[in-house]
Amino acid sequence: MAAIIEIEHLVKSYVIGDNVVHALNDVSLSVSEREFVAIVGPSGSGKSTLMNIIGCLDIATSGSYKLRGQEISLYTEDELSEFRNRMIGFIFQRFNLLNKLNAVENVELPLVYQGISSKERRERAVAALEKVRLANRMLHTPMELSGGQQQRVAIARALITDPPVILADEPTGNLDSTTGKEVMQILQGLGSAGHTIVLITHDMNIAKQARRIVRISDGRLVSDEEVSRS
């Protein structure tokens, strides 16, 4: 299957005083369409930096990152923002919902940035909430929802533009184990439905629910293995 994410010899460096720190050091990684990949590493390993670059939230110092054949470093900031909105759905540990908006309004937000009509926005937002079994709570604000419900709203928001890539950053980190399992079941369902899933986590039990585990340490990829289902 064709690669949707192609990273070659990626370096991300920061200058701190007189020192140069390599958050990522010669990272190469390929992710195929419809793959479910977990990127695992402890705090400070570089996985968050890698996530930001995969998510088009940051640009590498050197090396190449192509998303569906497009070299990300060639985009202007405005072009990158538009490309990111179409190509990537984000799911964050802290949900990142706006408290003043209800669930359906939060889900609609990516379509507002695309200039979609209010009627179509609402129809697509309701459909996305139905996918995560939360249509009956669509008029509730985040403060009126449990943590698990808030994360399901965030997943619906990530789905609203039908992006080919779902980037999930510690999506179960603020949830109890039962709710975390429900969220992972939703992500596995999205993978089966054709989305490419990139999961960032420090938890190996969560990572093992992906089909492939990539480990990162001190800014370098140290292993890349398929998950055995035996």
CATH of the domain at 24: 3.40.50.300
In a domain, 178, yes or no: yes
To the nearest whole number, what is the mean pLDDT of the chain? 91
pLDDT of residue 92: 86
In a domain, 43, yes or no: yes
In a domain, 142, yes or no: no
Check pLDDT > 80 for residue 107: yes
- Domain carrying residue 202: 3-96+163-226
pLDDT of residue 81: 87
Q: What is the pTM of this model?
A: 0.89
Dihedral sign of CA atoms 110, 123, 139, 149 in order: negative
In a domain, 34, yes or no: yes
What is the percentage of the chain residues whose pLDDT exceeds 70?
A: 99
Check pLDDT > 70 for residue 229: no
Residue 29 to residues 6, 46, 96, 123, 214, Cα–Cα distance (Å): 6, 14, 28, 37, 9
Question: How many structural domains comprise the chain?
Answer: 1
Residue 114 to residues 15, 35, 57, 109, 170, Cα–Cα distance (Å): 36, 27, 18, 9, 27
In a domain, 132, yes or no: no
In a domain, 79, yes or no: yes
In a domain, 118, yes or no: no
